[in-house]
Amino acid sequence: MAKVFIYPATSLILSDLVARYGHTPLSSATAIRERIQTAGIESVPLQITPEEPKKGLRWAAVEVPSGVRGRMALYGPMIDSCDAAIVIKDSDLAFGCMGCARTNELVKYLVREKKVPRLDLNYPKSEEEGTRFVAAIKRFLEGLGGGK
């Protein structure tokens, strides 16, 4: 069983897929809703305090905006502990979405630098692409070993 970091970390579909193949998804598991009534698109599921941006200094310098460092306090440890990663590019907001583009750039770079098995996929635009998309994820997860 592998710990698999998913990007976007808020994608419930991706998180579910990883779990179905017997691995542990590393994600923030925030539901993207039909309506957005919270502060941000990926509003925090837990109480973030001003301490989190300080903890985030481990992954981003003090000159980096506090919102990036606060997010890194959440996502940084996940990236550090992952055995594999799935990165979906240009995904639809409804699929899963992280609110800060600068954090997203840093997260994807750190995942790349981690040099663990990684699956990079473009978000499917058609049903046919969707089928290939799910199949690719299935192959990747089965290939990690230790799963179902």
Partner 1 sequence: MTVPVRIAQLSCGPEYSGVQQEINEAAKAVNGEIFFPDIALKDIIRDFEAFGLDVRSPDLKLAIARAKALAEGRIDADAVFIATCFRCAEAAIVRNELRRYIHNNSKLPVVSYSFTERTTAGTLLTRMEALTTIARRRALLARETQQGITLGVDSGSSTTKAIVMKDNRIVGTGWQPTTEVLKSAQDVIGHALTEAGIRRDEIEAVGTTGYGRFLVGKEIRADLIQEELTVNSKGAVYLADRQHGPATVIDIGGMDNKAITVQDGIPGTFTMGGICAGASGRFLEMTAKRLGVDITELGPLAMKGFANHVPMNSYCIVFGTQSLVNALAAGSSREDVAAAACHSVAEQVFEQQLQEVDIKEPVLMVGGTSLIEGLVHAMGELLQTRIMVPKYSQYIGAVGSALLASGFIRDD
Phi/psi-derived region of residue 137, left when phi > 0, alpha when psi is between -120 and 50, beta in every other case: alpha
- Cβ proximity to partner 1: between 22 and 67 the closer is 67
Kindly state the smallest distance separating residue 25's Cβ from partner 1, in Å: 21
Distance of CA 76 to the CA centre of its chain: 11
- Cβ proximity to partner 1: between 99 and 147 the closer is 99
Placement of tokens 């996502």 in the chain: 75
Q: Which two tokens stand for residue 109?
A: 């770079």
**One-letter identity of residue 46:** L
φ/ψ of 13, rounded to 5, equals: -65, -45
Kindly state the smallest distance separating residue 117's Cβ from partner 1, in Å: 27
Kindly state the smallest distance separating residue 108's Cβ from partner 1, in Å: 13
- Cβ proximity to partner 1: between 14 and 32 the closer is 32
Shortest CA distance to 95 belongs to which of 107, 84, 83, 87?
87
Kindly state the smallest distance separating residue 105's Cβ from partner 1, in Å: 9
Strand partners, 122: 89
Binding site for partner 1 (CB under 8 A): 32-44, 48-54, 63-71, 74, 93-94, 97-102
- Cβ proximity to partner 1: between 92 and 142 the closer is 92
